[in-house]
Amino acid sequence: MRVTIKEVAEKAGVSIATVSRVLNESTLVQDETREIVKRVARDLRYSPNIAARNLSRSRTETIGILLPDLYGEFFSEVIRGMDITARQNKYHLIISSSHNSKAEIEAALRTMSGRVDGLIIMSPYIDTSALYANLPGALPVVLLNCHVDGNNVDAMNIDNYKGAHAVVTHLASHGHKRIAIIKGTEKNIDALERLRGYQDAIKASHAEYSASYEFQGDFTEASAYKAAIKILNTTPQPTAIFASNDAMAIGALSALRAHNISVPGDIALAGFDDIPIATYITPSLTTVRVRISDLGALAVKRLLEAVHAKKEYVNYRTVLDTEVIARESCGCPVMHND
Protein backbone atom coordinates (compact mmCIF):
# COMPACT_ATOMS: atom_id res chain seq x y z
CA MET A 1 0.00 0.00 0.00
CA ARG A 2 1.15 3.55 -0.76
CA VAL A 3 2.28 5.43 2.36
CA THR A 4 0.21 8.59 2.89
CA ILE A 5 1.21 12.01 4.14
CA LYS A 6 -1.07 11.41 7.12
CA GLU A 7 0.99 8.38 8.17
CA VAL A 8 4.20 10.41 7.95
CA ALA A 9 2.65 13.15 10.09
CA GLU A 10 1.47 10.66 12.75
CA LYS A 11 4.84 8.91 12.91
CA ALA A 12 6.73 12.21 13.14
CA GLY A 13 4.31 13.65 15.69
CA VAL A 14 3.49 16.73 13.63
CA SER A 15 0.59 18.03 11.57
CA ILE A 16 -0.04 17.21 7.91
CA ALA A 17 0.53 20.90 7.16
CA THR A 18 4.01 20.70 8.70
CA VAL A 19 4.92 17.67 6.58
CA SER A 20 3.70 19.53 3.51
CA ARG A 21 5.83 22.57 4.38
CA VAL A 22 8.92 20.39 4.81
CA LEU A 23 8.38 18.63 1.48
CA ASN A 24 7.89 21.97 -0.26
CA GLU A 25 11.10 23.39 1.26
CA SER A 26 9.27 26.04 3.28
CA THR A 27 11.40 28.17 5.62
CA LEU A 28 8.59 28.22 8.20
CA VAL A 29 9.73 24.97 9.84
CA GLN A 30 12.41 24.65 12.52
CA ASP A 31 15.52 22.71 11.51
CA GLU A 32 15.01 20.01 14.16
CA THR A 33 11.43 19.37 13.04
CA ARG A 34 12.51 19.38 9.40
CA GLU A 35 15.11 16.66 10.03
CA ILE A 36 12.59 14.51 11.93
CA VAL A 37 10.03 14.72 9.13
CA LYS A 38 12.62 13.96 6.46
CA ARG A 39 13.94 10.98 8.39
CA VAL A 40 10.45 9.54 8.92
CA ALA A 41 9.52 10.08 5.27
CA ARG A 42 12.73 8.33 4.24
CA ASP A 43 12.19 5.41 6.63
CA LEU A 44 8.61 4.94 5.46
CA ARG A 45 9.74 5.34 1.82
CA TYR A 46 7.11 8.01 1.38
CA SER A 47 6.74 9.41 -2.14
CA PRO A 48 4.52 12.49 -2.61
CA ASN A 49 1.56 12.13 -4.95
CA ILE A 50 2.78 14.56 -7.58
CA ALA A 51 -0.40 14.33 -9.66
CA ALA A 52 -2.61 15.23 -6.69
CA ARG A 53 -0.32 18.06 -5.61
CA ASN A 54 -0.24 19.51 -9.11
CA LEU A 55 -4.02 19.21 -9.40
CA SER A 56 -4.46 21.29 -6.26
CA ARG A 57 -2.04 23.88 -7.62
CA SER A 58 -3.51 23.81 -11.19
CA ARG A 59 0.02 23.18 -12.48
CA THR A 60 1.86 20.09 -13.64
CA GLU A 61 5.29 21.77 -13.86
CA THR A 62 5.69 19.79 -17.08
CA ILE A 63 6.02 20.85 -20.71
CA GLY A 64 4.99 18.58 -23.55
CA ILE A 65 7.18 18.36 -26.66
CA LEU A 66 5.82 16.83 -29.88
CA LEU A 67 8.39 16.22 -32.61
CA PRO A 68 8.28 14.42 -35.96
CA ASP A 69 11.48 12.52 -35.22
CA LEU A 70 14.47 12.39 -32.87
CA TYR A 71 16.97 11.40 -35.56
CA GLY A 72 20.21 13.32 -35.87
CA GLU A 73 22.07 16.12 -34.16
CA PHE A 74 19.51 18.80 -35.01
CA PHE A 75 16.89 17.34 -32.69
CA SER A 76 19.38 16.48 -29.96
CA GLU A 77 20.53 20.12 -29.94
CA VAL A 78 16.95 21.44 -29.91
CA ILE A 79 16.08 19.17 -26.98
CA ARG A 80 19.27 20.14 -25.14
CA GLY A 81 18.30 23.81 -25.28
CA MET A 82 14.76 22.99 -24.16
CA ASP A 83 15.86 20.79 -21.28
CA ILE A 84 18.42 23.24 -19.88
CA THR A 85 15.90 26.09 -19.90
CA ALA A 86 13.11 23.94 -18.45
CA ARG A 87 15.29 22.72 -15.58
CA GLN A 88 16.42 26.26 -14.83
CA ASN A 89 12.74 27.08 -14.32
CA LYS A 90 12.04 23.88 -12.31
CA TYR A 91 10.05 22.31 -15.13
CA HIS A 92 10.31 18.89 -16.73
CA LEU A 93 9.84 17.73 -20.31
CA ILE A 94 7.65 14.97 -21.71
CA ILE A 95 8.87 14.23 -25.24
CA SER A 96 6.90 12.34 -27.85
CA SER A 97 8.24 11.82 -31.37
CA SER A 98 7.84 10.03 -34.70
CA HIS A 99 4.38 11.39 -35.46
CA ASN A 100 4.30 10.89 -39.21
CA SER A 101 0.61 11.39 -39.97
CA LYS A 102 -2.18 13.77 -39.03
CA ALA A 103 -3.95 11.01 -37.08
CA GLU A 104 -0.81 10.33 -35.01
CA ILE A 105 -0.26 13.99 -34.14
CA GLU A 106 -3.92 14.44 -33.18
CA ALA A 107 -3.76 11.37 -30.90
CA ALA A 108 -0.60 12.75 -29.28
CA LEU A 109 -2.29 16.12 -28.73
CA ARG A 110 -5.18 14.46 -26.91
CA THR A 111 -2.79 12.39 -24.80
CA MET A 112 -0.79 15.44 -23.72
CA SER A 113 -3.88 17.56 -22.96
CA GLY A 114 -4.42 17.82 -19.20
CA ARG A 115 -0.98 16.40 -18.40
CA VAL A 116 1.15 19.41 -19.25
CA ASP A 117 1.09 23.16 -18.66
CA GLY A 118 1.90 23.89 -22.29
CA LEU A 119 2.99 22.33 -25.57
CA ILE A 120 5.81 22.88 -28.04
CA ILE A 121 5.00 21.32 -31.40
CA MET A 122 7.10 20.73 -34.50
CA SER A 123 5.13 18.86 -37.13
CA PRO A 124 4.31 19.26 -40.84
CA TYR A 125 0.86 17.79 -40.11
CA ILE A 126 -0.35 20.38 -37.63
CA ASP A 127 -3.01 22.88 -38.64
CA THR A 128 -5.50 25.20 -36.98
CA SER A 129 -8.36 22.69 -37.11
CA ALA A 130 -6.22 20.01 -35.41
CA LEU A 131 -5.31 22.40 -32.57
CA TYR A 132 -8.89 23.55 -32.04
CA ALA A 133 -10.33 20.04 -32.15
CA ASN A 134 -7.84 18.37 -29.82
CA LEU A 135 -6.65 20.96 -27.30
CA PRO A 136 -8.37 23.23 -24.79
CA GLY A 137 -8.24 26.86 -25.90
CA ALA A 138 -6.49 27.97 -22.71
CA LEU A 139 -3.49 25.66 -23.15
CA PRO A 140 -0.39 27.65 -24.24
CA VAL A 141 1.19 26.37 -27.46
CA VAL A 142 4.42 27.27 -29.25
CA LEU A 143 4.86 26.04 -32.81
CA LEU A 144 8.33 25.45 -34.26
CA ASN A 145 8.67 25.59 -38.06
CA CYS A 146 4.96 25.06 -38.60
CA HIS A 147 2.46 27.07 -40.61
CA VAL A 148 -0.81 27.72 -38.79
CA ASP A 149 -3.31 30.48 -39.53
CA GLY A 150 -4.47 32.80 -36.76
CA ASN A 151 -2.72 34.60 -33.92
CA ASN A 152 -3.73 32.58 -30.87
CA VAL A 153 -0.49 30.56 -30.66
CA ASP A 154 3.19 31.46 -30.70
CA ALA A 155 5.03 30.55 -33.89
CA MET A 156 8.80 30.44 -34.28
CA ASN A 157 10.35 29.77 -37.67
CA ILE A 158 13.88 29.60 -39.02
CA ASP A 159 14.52 31.92 -41.96
CA ASN A 160 14.99 28.92 -44.24
CA TYR A 161 14.47 30.86 -47.44
CA LYS A 162 17.05 33.55 -46.67
CA GLY A 163 19.62 31.02 -45.42
CA ALA A 164 19.32 28.80 -48.49
CA HIS A 165 19.40 31.78 -50.82
CA ALA A 166 22.55 33.11 -49.14
CA VAL A 167 24.53 29.86 -49.15
CA VAL A 168 23.66 29.06 -52.80
CA THR A 169 24.66 32.62 -53.73
CA HIS A 170 27.93 31.97 -51.92
CA LEU A 171 28.53 28.83 -53.98
CA ALA A 172 27.80 30.80 -57.15
CA SER A 173 30.32 33.45 -56.05
CA HIS A 174 33.00 30.75 -56.38
CA GLY A 175 32.15 30.56 -60.08
CA HIS A 176 29.80 27.56 -59.97
CA LYS A 177 27.10 27.58 -62.64
CA ARG A 178 25.75 24.05 -62.21
CA ILE A 179 24.64 23.75 -58.58
CA ALA A 180 22.57 20.74 -57.54
CA ILE A 181 20.30 20.55 -54.51
CA ILE A 182 19.48 17.53 -52.37
CA LYS A 183 16.00 18.37 -51.14
CA GLY A 184 14.54 17.58 -47.74
CA THR A 185 11.46 15.54 -46.91
CA GLU A 186 8.50 16.17 -49.19
CA LYS A 187 5.82 18.55 -47.83
CA ASN A 188 8.13 19.60 -44.98
CA ILE A 189 7.98 23.38 -44.51
CA ASP A 190 11.75 23.70 -43.94
CA ALA A 191 12.48 21.68 -47.06
CA LEU A 192 10.06 23.67 -49.19
CA GLU A 193 11.45 27.04 -48.09
CA ARG A 194 15.05 25.90 -48.61
CA LEU A 195 14.14 24.69 -52.09
CA ARG A 196 12.51 28.03 -52.86
CA GLY A 197 15.60 29.88 -51.64
CA TYR A 198 17.81 27.65 -53.79
CA GLN A 199 15.72 28.21 -56.91
CA ASP A 200 15.59 31.98 -56.53
CA ALA A 201 19.34 32.18 -55.82
CA ILE A 202 20.14 30.14 -58.93
CA LYS A 203 18.09 32.51 -61.07
CA ALA A 204 19.43 35.66 -59.38
CA SER A 205 23.06 34.56 -59.82
CA HIS A 206 22.49 33.56 -63.47
CA ALA A 207 23.53 29.99 -62.80
CA GLU A 208 22.02 27.18 -64.85
CA TYR A 209 18.56 26.34 -63.57
CA SER A 210 17.26 22.86 -64.37
CA ALA A 211 14.83 20.56 -62.60
CA SER A 212 17.32 17.79 -63.39
CA TYR A 213 19.63 19.34 -60.76
CA GLU A 214 17.04 18.83 -58.01
CA PHE A 215 17.37 15.50 -56.20
CA GLN A 216 15.04 14.13 -53.55
CA GLY A 217 16.28 13.39 -50.04
CA ASP A 218 14.63 13.01 -46.63
CA PHE A 219 17.09 14.79 -44.32
CA THR A 220 19.03 11.55 -43.63
CA GLU A 221 22.60 10.66 -44.57
CA ALA A 222 21.47 7.53 -46.44
CA SER A 223 19.09 9.44 -48.72
CA ALA A 224 21.84 11.94 -49.59
CA TYR A 225 24.36 9.17 -50.30
CA LYS A 226 21.98 7.79 -52.95
CA ALA A 227 21.25 11.27 -54.29
CA ALA A 228 24.97 12.04 -54.63
CA ILE A 229 25.47 8.91 -56.76
CA LYS A 230 22.72 10.17 -59.07
CA ILE A 231 24.39 13.59 -59.21
CA LEU A 232 27.65 11.98 -60.35
CA ASN A 233 25.75 10.29 -63.17
CA THR A 234 24.13 13.53 -64.35
CA THR A 235 25.26 15.10 -67.63
CA PRO A 236 26.54 17.74 -67.55
CA GLN A 237 27.69 17.04 -64.01
CA PRO A 238 27.09 19.71 -61.35
CA THR A 239 30.19 21.31 -59.86
CA ALA A 240 28.56 22.14 -56.52
CA ILE A 241 25.95 20.59 -54.23
CA PHE A 242 23.70 22.28 -51.70
CA ALA A 243 22.33 19.70 -49.27
CA SER A 244 19.23 20.88 -47.42
CA ASN A 245 20.68 19.92 -44.05
CA ASP A 246 24.10 19.01 -42.67
CA ALA A 247 23.25 15.33 -42.17
CA MET A 248 22.63 15.02 -45.90
CA ALA A 249 25.77 17.01 -46.68
CA ILE A 250 27.75 14.44 -44.66
CA GLY A 251 26.01 11.58 -46.49
CA ALA A 252 26.84 13.20 -49.83
CA LEU A 253 30.45 13.72 -48.78
CA SER A 254 30.75 10.02 -47.99
CA ALA A 255 29.44 9.09 -51.43
CA LEU A 256 31.79 11.50 -53.18
CA ARG A 257 34.78 10.11 -51.28
CA ALA A 258 33.75 6.56 -52.16
CA HIS A 259 33.94 7.56 -55.83
CA ASN A 260 37.28 9.39 -55.46
CA ILE A 261 35.71 12.81 -55.98
CA SER A 262 37.65 15.61 -54.34
CA VAL A 263 35.73 18.13 -52.19
CA PRO A 264 35.98 20.99 -52.96
CA GLY A 265 38.44 20.34 -55.81
CA ASP A 266 35.99 18.48 -58.07
CA ILE A 267 32.67 19.32 -56.42
CA ALA A 268 31.99 21.99 -53.79
CA LEU A 269 29.57 21.18 -50.99
CA ALA A 270 27.40 23.10 -48.52
CA GLY A 271 24.77 22.18 -45.94
CA PHE A 272 22.29 23.80 -43.58
CA ASP A 273 21.92 23.90 -39.74
CA ASP A 274 25.57 24.01 -38.57
CA ILE A 275 25.31 20.95 -36.36
CA PRO A 276 28.32 20.51 -34.01
CA ILE A 277 30.08 17.90 -36.17
CA ALA A 278 30.15 20.27 -39.17
CA THR A 279 33.28 21.97 -37.85
CA TYR A 280 35.19 18.74 -37.32
CA ILE A 281 34.66 16.68 -40.48
CA THR A 282 37.24 16.87 -43.29
CA PRO A 283 36.88 19.09 -45.14
CA SER A 284 35.04 21.26 -42.63
CA LEU A 285 31.53 21.95 -43.87
CA THR A 286 30.29 25.23 -45.27
CA THR A 287 26.76 25.62 -43.97
CA VAL A 288 23.98 27.90 -42.79
CA ARG A 289 24.16 28.49 -39.08
CA VAL A 290 20.98 28.06 -37.08
CA ARG A 291 21.50 28.49 -33.35
CA ILE A 292 19.70 25.22 -32.75
CA SER A 293 20.06 24.98 -28.98
CA ASP A 294 18.96 28.61 -28.65
CA LEU A 295 15.88 27.77 -30.72
CA GLY A 296 14.84 25.15 -28.16
CA ALA A 297 15.66 27.44 -25.25
CA LEU A 298 13.67 30.34 -26.67
CA ALA A 299 10.67 28.09 -27.35
CA VAL A 300 10.57 26.99 -23.69
CA LYS A 301 11.09 30.54 -22.44
CA ARG A 302 8.22 31.81 -24.61
CA LEU A 303 5.96 28.97 -23.50
CA LEU A 304 6.61 29.58 -19.80
CA GLU A 305 5.89 33.28 -20.25
CA ALA A 306 2.49 32.28 -21.65
CA VAL A 307 1.89 29.78 -18.82
CA HIS A 308 2.51 32.40 -16.13
CA ALA A 309 0.84 35.36 -17.85
CA LYS A 310 -2.29 33.42 -18.90
CA LYS A 311 -4.90 35.73 -20.47
CA GLU A 312 -2.59 38.74 -20.37
CA TYR A 313 -0.07 37.10 -22.69
CA VAL A 314 0.34 38.42 -26.23
CA ASN A 315 1.24 35.86 -28.88
CA TYR A 316 4.33 36.36 -31.04
CA ARG A 317 5.45 35.46 -34.52
CA THR A 318 9.24 35.09 -34.57
CA VAL A 319 11.59 34.44 -37.51
CA LEU A 320 15.11 33.50 -36.45
CA ASP A 321 18.00 34.84 -38.50
CA THR A 322 20.51 32.55 -40.20
CA GLU A 323 24.13 33.09 -41.16
CA VAL A 324 26.39 31.53 -43.81
CA ILE A 325 29.45 29.91 -42.23
CA ALA A 326 32.08 29.53 -44.95
CA ARG A 327 34.51 26.66 -44.40
CA GLU A 328 36.69 24.41 -46.54
CA SER A 329 34.05 22.34 -48.36
CA CYS A 330 33.11 25.22 -50.67
CA GLY A 331 36.72 26.21 -51.35
CA CYS A 332 37.12 28.91 -48.73
CA PRO A 333 40.32 28.99 -46.67
CA VAL A 334 40.47 27.30 -43.27
CA MET A 335 38.88 29.45 -40.59
CA HIS A 336 39.40 29.07 -36.85
CA ASN A 337 36.65 31.32 -35.50
CA ASP A 338 33.88 28.75 -34.94
Residues 217 and 176 in one domain: yes
Assess whether 155 and 300 both reside in one domain: yes
Residue with the bigger pLDDT between 30 and 147: it is 30
97 lies in the same domain as 140? yes
pLDDT at position 336, please? Answer: 52
Same structural domain, 126 and 185: no
What digits encode the pLDDT tens for the residues 125-157? 777 778 878 888 788 889 988 877 766 778 888
Could you tell me if 141 and 110 lie in one domain? yes
Q: Rounded to the nearest 10 degrees, how much is the dihedral formed by the CA atoms of 303, 307, 311, 317?
A: 0
β-pair partners for 240 = 179, 268
Q: Could you say which DSSP state residue 181 is in? A: E
pLDDT at 56 over 60: no
pLDDT at 55 over 50: no
Domain hosting residue 258, numbered range = 161-289+325-330
- The answer to whether residue 335 is domain-embedded is no
Within this chain, do residues 87 and 152 fall inside the same structural domain, yes or no? yes
Q: 269 and 211 in one domain?
A: yes
Residue 114 maps to a domain: yes
pTM of the predicted protein model? 0.79
**Number of folded domains that form the chain:** 3
Confirm whether 337 is domain-assigned: no
Residue 319 has pLDDT above 80, yes or no: yes
pLDDT at residue 126 in the model: 79
- pLDDT tens-digit map of 244-261: 999 999 999 999 999 999
Question: Integer distance in angstroms from the first to the last C-alpha of the chain?
Answer: 57
The DSSP bridge partners found for residue 179 are 240
Q: What is the CATH number of the domain that holds 283?
A: 3.40.50.2300
Average pLDDT, the chain: 89
Nearest to 156 by CA among 321, 268, 267: 321
Task: Report the distance separating Cα 173 and Cα 166, nearest Å.
Answer: 10
Rounded distance, CA 274 to CA 236, Å?
30
Q: Tell me the one-letter amino acid at 332.
A: C
What distances in angstroms separate CA 291 from CA 124, 156, 249, 273, 279, one per listed residue?
21, 13, 18, 8, 14
Confidence of residue 337 (pLDDT cuts 50, 70, 90): low
Question: Do 262 and 313 reside in the same domain of the chain?
Answer: no
Residues facing residue 324 across a β-bridge:
288
What's the CATH number where 23 sits? 1.10.260.40
Query: 148 to each of 1, 125, 141, how far by Cα in Å?
Result: 48, 10, 12
Give the mean pLDDT of 153-168: 93
User: How many other β-carbons are positioned within 10 Å of the β-carbon of residue 211?
Assistant: 6
Closest CA to 66 of 129, 160, 130: 130
For residues 112 and 304, which has the higher predicted lDDT (pLDDT)?
304
pLDDT of res. 39: 92
- Within 10 Å of residue 147's Cβ, how many Cβ atoms? 14
For residues 200 and 311, the model is more confident at 200
pLDDT for 151 equals 67
Under DSSP, the state recorded for 155 is: E
| Same-domain check for residues 175 and 238 | yes
Question: Per the domain annotation, does 133 fall within a domain?
Answer: yes
Report CA 182 to chain centroid distance, whole Å: 21
- Separation between Cα atoms, residue 335 and residue 28, nearest integer Å: 57
Looking at the structure, do residues 315 and 275 belong to the same domain, yes or no?
A: no
Whether residue 170 sits in one domain with residue 273:
yes
